[in-house]
Amino acid sequence: MSVRVLITGAGSGLGAAMARIYAERGAQVAVVDIQLERAEDTIAALPQVDGGHLALTADVGSDASMEALRDTIEHKWGGLNVLVNNAGVASGGEIVAITPAEWDRVLNINLMGVVRGCRLFVPMLLRQSGGLVINTASFAGLAGAPTLGAYGVSKAGVVALSESLNAEMKMHGGRCSVLCPSFFQTRLLESCAPGQEEVRQFAGRLMKKGRLNADDVARYAIDEAQSGRFLLLPHPDTRRRWLLKRWFPGFYYRATERYFAQMRQRAGQ
């Protein structure tokens, strides 16, 4: 029987790249996106495998929508081997400027969307005598930065959730990994709320400078998660920064403050 993989937010970018790599390795993939047309576009580019793939639509921010997705997978496949909670939105702005509605939007999708995926699909995974969950967080969830407050909080929540879930799943033969990439080219910034153009432009410039693309991040995540690694840091520079923060936090915070001060000065702010 083929490995059965479900990926949310797979209509473009990282999710689509992961779907392609899994399909190339012979897996059946359920490509899930809030826009069905994007899911169908991803499916059209996948190599065919025995049993075929599924293009499905779901809103990770809705309990009812995710429950319907769970029921569809149960009906179509009768089980699942890998769950990738990848859907998310971008957000920017200083803490005092972020509205309650924006906090609700970001936390409901980025954090509670992952919670919904885990709550509904992990029981299905564990029925297969194991199973793997990959939750997409961000390096912003490990190292906070100015103007990324709501986004960083949502991704830090995903890291904490994944730590707990990994320990729980291991008691039943499964495991969880959490992916914390830095900047790379995706369509994520299209999901910024109106009025966040300044942050969109700044993050867009950093994405263009990124040395990794979606395929690089996807391949690293799949290979390292399969090998049993929990914390997935595809960017070499973030691995160094993470070690620096853990072992020399005072130096790390001072260096980070200087870095962002210089960035704002160059931008004329």
Active centre residues (catalytic) = 151
Closest CA to 183 of 121, 249, 234: 234
For residue 58, give the nearest of 17, 30, 98 by alpha carbon: 30
Task: Give 134's strand partners.
Answer: 84, 177
Distance CA 24, CA 5 (A): 12
CA-closest candidate to residue 186, choices 214, 227, 155: 214
What is the b/e burial string over 79-113, where b = at least 16 CB atoms within 10 angstroms of the residue's CB? ebbbbbbbbbbbbbbeeeebeeebbebbbbbbbbb
Q: Which of 185, 8, 182, 188 is nearest to 82 (CA)?
A: 8
Helix (H, G, I), strand (E, B) or coil at 132: strand
**Dist. CA 41–CA 52, nearest whole Å:** 15
Strand ranges across the sheet with 175-179: 54-57, 28-33, 4-7, 82-85, 132-136, 175-179, 231-232
